[in-house]
Chain A
Amino acid sequence: MQTYDLSDTHIVTPPEEIALSTHQLQVYYGNNRQASMTDASLSFPRFQITALIGASGSGKSTYLRSLNRLNDRIARVQGEIMYRNTNINSPKINVYEVRKHIGMVFQKPNPFAKSISENITFALKAAGITDRRERHQRVETSLKEAALWDEVKDDLNKSALALSGGQQQRLCIARAIAMKPDILLLDEPASALDPISTTKLEVTLKALTQKYTIIIVTHNMQQASRISAYTAFFHLGHVTEYDQTEKIFQTPKIQATHDYVTGNFG
């Protein structure tokens, strides 16, 4: 692999209202001295889609999973994650509250072995929403927002495991947005899906930006350029370039980014 100067970076701060930002985030796995993620400082604009791209092992998933403290059990995360003027990467923070505001959807669809509606109502109940009607209302709205309602509205009591992969993934999105989060993190949500399901998913995500801030990790550069407003390029645990998506793909400032988006990488 070609070596690039990792200190050579170009990172902008979006002029829009910022929903979430990180300052010098470092991630260490296990007892490693070597950081898997170094000095990541990014700001994510509200009601926009930001894409995180980069080769496998570049640290983009690690970074994403740190944002809602999901790495707590397996890694040490240093630095600041600012959300609503609060550093949520502090030991004093109630991580369960954080995760209610910052939802997440994973690479592989992971519905619970419960019915479709229970998949959504389960966390609502745990969060203390005792009103049945309110819960059912949320099932309907979230499934509609995730563009799944029409396909499953007659089978809400069927096992979620009987759905197709694409449907399961949209159910997982519905499950996440039923909690009414501010921010939605998506870790390669389309990697296990076929092209038609992927297109549906992208349309859904676009529509969701009316109410949610979305940060998405993707392997697929076309996908990043189709849906995102901003794009960050990750390389070997560093954020190399962060700018508006058009600029990243058309006039990248950094050599590594240029090589990656033109396919001359590695």
Chain B
Amino acid sequence: MDEIQKKLTAPSKASREDVTGRIISYTCIAAIIILVISILYFITSRGIATFTTNHVSLWQFLSGKEWNPGTLNAKGQPQVGALPMIVTSFSVTILAALVATPFAIAVALFMTDIAPKNGAKFLQPVIELLVGIPSVVYGFIGLTVVVPFIRHLFGGTGSGILAGTIVLFVMVLPTITSLSVDALRAVPTYFRSASLALGATRFQTIYKVLLRAAMPRLLTAVIFGMARAFGEALAVQMVIGNAVLMPRNLVTPTSTLTSQLTTNIGNTIMGTLPNNALWSLALILLLMSLVFNLLIRCIGKRGEIKS
């Protein structure tokens, strides 16, 4: 009797095991949290050095068109205008998303509503395959196929926003598509049957019921795609031309934030202005990825289908 009572209150092997388990899993999650905080901290502290140590004005950085951090301009100020790269990054991102979205939604509709059986069976692996192709391979094909093709059509070097857009279009297509498929599948079947039973055609059902019901999640899908395009480095770097010039049209060489970073961070010396300025570009990338994240959260919260 007493022995059992004692056992009921004393720690046992099982309770010790549980302490071990908690320590292990809490440590792992803590490591990830520390990692995220240190990424944010380190990139931010490096990124603001341009403004705090080198006293470049934020406005000049965001609106200046001359990027030549090593030299001073006529007024004796360093030339760190990031506007060309900001404009190019946003251009390729938005253009790629604009082109990819209709294709992605068409493929998603084909898989969910037009040919749900064979379409999905065939296209699912196609999409997964496209996701799996590494970005350098996309860049290489862009360099050997897309750039010469544009050069042939428009003259010049062939690199530029158009080449970047085409490469990014193919790269974000699978991302947007697979998320759109999820969005459309989340619309309950009775939405469809109710609409069809009222005599609506399939297209009317798709257009007026399906796409509307799935709209918030489709939007998130597109933003996910844009986030991927905005942060993509090597594939774009291989086809964009890497000249820090304000893009005048779609087929002149220019530079994105990522391409400038990958090309030059190894050629600058830590702590100097040219290096700090590059970290500021990285900071913009970081902030934009937070913005995309926030957008996805906001839209996602509103778009939950209640059934």
Contacts and interface: CB of A to CB of B under 8 A. Distances in A.
A92 B9 contact: yes
A94 B7 contact: yes
B267 interface: no
A98 interface: yes
A97 B12 CA distance: 8
Contacts of B4: 84, 101
A94 B13 contact: no
A101 B1 CA distance: 13
Interface residues of A, number: 14
B266 interface: no
A195 to B, nearest CB: 35
A142 B123 CA distance: 53
Contact of A86 (B8, B13, B14): B8
Interface residues of B, number: 12
Secondary structure class of chain B's binding surface, majority of residues: helix
Interface in A136-186: none
A94 B5 contact: no
B15 interface: yes
A94 B11 contact: yes
Contacts of B10: 94, 97
Given A86-B8, A86-B9, A88-B8, A94 B1 contact: no
A266 interface: no
Interface in A63-122: 83-86, 88, 92-94, 96-98, 101
A196 interface: no
A84 B12 contact: no
A83 B5 CA distance: 9
A128 interface: yes
A94 B10 CA distance: 6
B13 A84 contact: no
Interface in B260-294: none
Nearest to B11: A94
B204 to A, nearest CB: 42
A98 B9 CA distance: 9
A83 B15 CA distance: 20
A93 B15 contact: no
Contacts of A98: 8
A91 to B, nearest CB: 11
A97 B13 contact: no
Given A84-B1, A84-B4, A93 B9 contact: yes
A93 B5 CA distance: 10
Contacts of A85: 5
A128 B13 contact: yes
A86 B15 contact: no
B7 to A, nearest CB: 5
Interface in B7-46: 7-15
A1 interface: no
Of the candidates B1, B8, B10, the one having the most CB atoms from chain A within 10 angstroms of its own CB is B8
B2 to A, nearest CB: 9
B14 A93 contact: no
B27 to A, nearest CB: 21
A128 B11 CA distance: 14
A96 B1 contact: no
Nearest to A98: B8
A93 B7 CA distance: 9
16 contacts: A84-B1, A84-B4, A85-B5, A92-B9, A94-B7, A94-B8, A94-B11, A94-B12, A94-B14, A94-B15, A96-B14, A96-B15, A97-B7, A97-B8, A97-B14, A98-B8
Interface of B: 1, 4-5, 7-15
**8 A-B pairs with least C-beta separation:** A96-B14, A97-B7, A97-B8, A86-B5, A86-B8, A94-B12, A92-B9, A94-B15
Given A84-B1, A94-B15, A97-B14, 20 more contacts: A85-B5, A86-B8, A92-B9, A93-B9, A94-B7, A94-B9, A94-B10, A94-B12, A94-B14, A96-B12, A96-B14, A96-B15, A97-B7, A97-B10, A97-B12, A98-B8, A101-B4, A101-B8, A126-B14, A128-B13
